[in-house]
Amino acid sequence: MSETSRQVFISMDLAQPVDRISHVPVQDAWGDLSVDGTTAEGGHPVRSLNGHPGGREQPEVPRDPPPSACALQPIGMVVDVSGSGGLIALDLHRLEECSADEDPTVAMSGQVSSQIKLRVGTDRDGGWLLGSVRNQRRDGKVEAGALAQVDFLGEGEEDPETGRITRFRRGVTRYPVPGALAYPATSADLRQIYASDGRNNVTVGTVFPTRDIRAGLYVDPLLGKHFALLGSTGTGKSTAAALILHRICDMAPEGHIVMIDPHGEYMAAFRESGQLFDVSNLQMPYWLMNFEEHCEVFLTSTGADRQIDADILAKCLLMARQKNRLAEQVGRITQDSPIPYLLSDLCIILQNEMGKLDKGHTSVPYMRVKSKIEEIRADPRYQFMFSGMLVGDTMADFLGQLFRLPAHGKPISIIDVSGVPSEITATVVAVLSRLVFDYAIWSRQEATRPILLVCEEAHRYVPSERNANGSSVGRILSRIAKEGRKYGVSLGLITQRPSDLAEGVLSQCGTIIAMRLNNDRDQQFVRAAMPEGARGFLDAIPALRNRECIICGEGVTIPIRVAFDDLDAARRPASADPSFSQLWTRSGGEAESVARTVQRWRAQSRF
């Protein structure tokens, strides 16, 4: 802008009550500001939460100083307005002045992904509209001018005495008009906006770019409408997942969380606060499988032969289940009924059916199914599931341990499936996932016990249509995503390749936590799943630092960029990248290490 234009532009603010903006400090209403019990930044004293859910202790929040003169002057004006955003003309001289402000929020004013506030209404009933800068471009028509697209995030009323934003809410009911002035958002403004509204919450980090404004997640909307944690390898995704789950477990020590861990990296993180399962102690009875899952394990044929084998297995499986006395007590049962049976009985029934003259088939299908069953029975890798010791009716005990009913202060089950033979890993995950869903369906007459199912490497189990293989695990997880909320089943998906997820699953997640994504296809997929008001934040996804994320959806008031807290070493997953340059300069103890590794390898146990 020219100097004359700039003076006219700034003088427009004289009619605005700028002396009333953000003068009164407020305390941060979020929970636990300390990180794993340590003193918060600055060494501020710690105070209790007065019963506020989601935390143990939190430090006193520093009183906000009065806003600087820079924060009281406009940085631009509205030139165009649409339903979800607007176009703002920015004064680059003013942005340069703001960049030297001590308030980091003011210093970022006008930059991409920063927040600005727009004056709406009149002086008598005026308020503020909060916007996020999506992009900038130089305005060639005006010297020292720039144009920025802004996404509208929400609005709040203006306190007539202090000028502070009050009663902030998502959505827009009053729009600015062209010529309305844009001001820097201050840390005090963001403290009001991001303050908890009293719902149960957990804090997970700090709102960017502030130093002390806590970022929290509302637990009930986060879990009630599912969530997804997305991020490329090496961005801190596993540590972020552990942080969120630790905070939820700390808040709800009698909760019920089941986590599928395909790499065994979360065992170390929850050794003290969770129940750990792997192939050495899982002891999952094979008879809990339904008919579809039996087919995935016992049938090897394809095409028309597979249908013949499936018909034979269905008939013989039902006969094997009916031999148990529980079948007589229950009455009518099906192939899917979780009634214990002996694998030896199933093999005998197959043998008997094969010998009948009116069987309608050759003996080949019977031999094929029987041979596969006997092969699995004899394979020690399958003993965690197909052992002869698992024929007793242990279903109630197994579900109680798996779902933490009761929790006894350990609300999470970590199920390490890395030792499961790859041929049946998907089936094992399918059984565990289906048990969660079926339990929720058949327990509706009991007191509600919501269960959270967390699935790491979710793209392996709920693949997109182009990678789909028709497995049962994809169908059950898709069903949980669509219907689980009705039955009190929450789904948490963690993946590094969101574009490889089934198309409808991510859209069912009410809260998306997006860390840095390097792949263009992944970025586009996430962008399509996020609400319109978060698009400006999404453009920053490739530029996020490690342990930073964008959170949007039901679990937060408005989209926010968050720097995650640090975790104590004892609470972190075993997912850190090794330092080749350092480790390859050390020696000693290799022979003993190899011997211990071989022993664990042979025992198929990490304990």
Beta strands per DSSP E along 92-171: 115-120, 127-138, 145-158, 165-170
Q: Residue 575: pLDDT band by 50, 70, 90 thresholds?
A: confident
Q: Report pLDDT for 508.
A: 92
**Number of domains observed in the structure of the chain:** 3
* pLDDT score of 12 more than 60: no
Q: Residue 64: pLDDT band by 50, 70, 90 thresholds?
A: low
Q: Report pLDDT for 391.
A: 87
Q: Do residue 450 and residue 566 come from a single domain? A: yes
Angle, helix 303-322 to helix 343-354, in steps of 10 degrees:
120
Tokens of 173: 């009911």
Instruction: Indicate the residue among 338, 353, 383 that finishes a domain.
Output: 383
- 153-163 average pLDDT score: 75
> Is the CB of residue 216 less than 8 Å from the CB of residue 196?
yes
pLDDT tens string 279-312 = 989 999 999 999 999 999 999 999 999 999 999 9
The mean pLDDT of the chain is: 84
Query: Which comes out higher in pLDDT, residue 487 or 601?
Result: 487
Share of the chain above pLDDT 90, in %: 54
- 365-375 average pLDDT score: 95
In a domain, 317, yes or no: yes
CATH number of the domain that residue 172 is part of: 2.40.10
Q: Do residue 468 and residue 516 come from a single domain? A: yes
In a domain, 430, yes or no: yes
Q: Do residue 167 and residue 298 come from a single domain? A: no
Query: Which comes out higher in pLDDT, residue 169 or 75?
Result: 75
- 574-602 average pLDDT score: 87
Q: Do residue 481 and residue 562 come from a single domain? A: yes
Q: Report pLDDT for 578.
A: 79
CATH number of the domain that residue 578 is part of: 3.40.50.300
* pLDDT score of 34 more than 90: no
* pLDDT score of 469 more than 50: yes
* pLDDT score of 559 more than 60: yes
Q: Report pLDDT for 168.
A: 84
Instruction: Indicate the residue among 338, 361, 383 that finishes a domain.
Output: 383
Sign of the torsion angle spanned by Cα atoms 174, 175, 178, 182: positive
476: Cα separation from own chain's centroid: 18
Q: Do residue 173 and residue 111 come from a single domain? A: yes
Q: Do residue 466 and residue 514 come from a single domain? A: yes
- 82-88 average pLDDT score: 89
Q: Do residue 553 and residue 427 come from a single domain? A: yes
Q: Report pLDDT for 59.
A: 44
In a domain, 57, yes or no: no
* pLDDT score of 35 more than 60: no
- 104-118 average pLDDT score: 89
Q: Are strands 257-261 and 451-456 parallel, antiparallel or unpaired?
A: parallel
Q: Report pLDDT for 603.
A: 74
Q: Report pLDDT for 40.
A: 38
Q: Report pTM.
A: 0.84
* pLDDT score of 209 more than 90: no
Q: Do residue 248 and residue 342 come from a single domain? A: no
* pLDDT score of 10 more than 60: no
* H-helix or E-strand spanning residue 442: helix 425-442
- 216-223 average pLDDT score: 95
In a domain, 44, yes or no: no
In a domain, 427, yes or no: yes
Q: Report pLDDT for 205.
A: 95
Q: Report pLDDT for 58.
A: 44
Query: Which comes out higher in pLDDT, residue 24 or 291?
Result: 291
> Is the CB of residue 453 less than 8 Å from the CB of residue 492?
yes
- 367-390 average pLDDT score: 92
* pLDDT score of 422 more than 70: yes
String of DSSP letters for 38-82: SPPTT-PPEEE-TT-TT-SEEEPPPPPPPPPTGGGS--EEEEEE-
CA–CA separation, 54 and 39 (whole Å): 17
Q: Report pLDDT for 528.
A: 82
Q: Do residue 460 and residue 532 come from a single domain? A: yes
Q: Do residue 241 and residue 363 come from a single domain? A: no
In degrees, rounded to 5, the angle at the alpha carbon of residue 381 between the alpha carbons of residues 380 and 384 is 90
pLDDT tens string 112-143 = 888 898 988 766 667 889 998 888 888 877 77
Q: Report pLDDT for 142.
A: 75
Share of the chain above pLDDT 70, in %: 86
Instruction: Indicate the residue among 383, 402, 431 that finishes a domain.
Output: 383
Rounded to the nearest 10°, the torsion over CA 502, 505, 509, 512 is 0
Q: Do residue 572 and residue 453 come from a single domain? A: yes
Query: Which comes out higher in pLDDT, residue 158 or 35?
Result: 158
In a domain, 199, yes or no: no
Which domain range does residue 126 map to? 3-26+64-193
Q: Report pLDDT for 15.
A: 36
Closest by alpha carbon to 515, among 552, 570, 481?
552
* pLDDT score of 16 more than 70: no
Which segment, 105-109, 117-121, 194-198, 291-295, is predicted with the most confidence on average? 291-295
Of 7-16, 197-206, 350-359, 495-504, the one with minimum mean pLDDT is 7-16
In whole angstroms, how far apart are CA 120 and each of 134, 158, 169, 175, 180? Answer: 20, 10, 15, 6, 7
Q: How many CA atoms lie within 13 A of 530 on its CB side?
A: 28
In a domain, 233, yes or no: yes
* pLDDT score of 60 more than 90: no
**H helical segments located in 234-298:** 237-251, 291-298
- 42-62 average pLDDT score: 40
Q: Report pLDDT for 257.
A: 97
Rounded to the nearest 10°, the torsion over CA 385, 389, 391, 397 is -80
Q: Do residue 365 and residue 427 come from a single domain? A: no
> Is the CB of residue 489 less than 8 Å from the CB of residue 451?
yes
pLDDT tens string 316-361 = 999 999 999 999 888 889 999 999 999 999 999 999 999 887 777 7
In a domain, 236, yes or no: yes
Query: Which comes out higher in pLDDT, residue 556 or 197?
Result: 556
In whole angstroms, how far apart are CA 442 and each of 150, 179, 392, 479, 542? Answer: 49, 60, 21, 16, 44
* pLDDT score of 43 more than 70: no
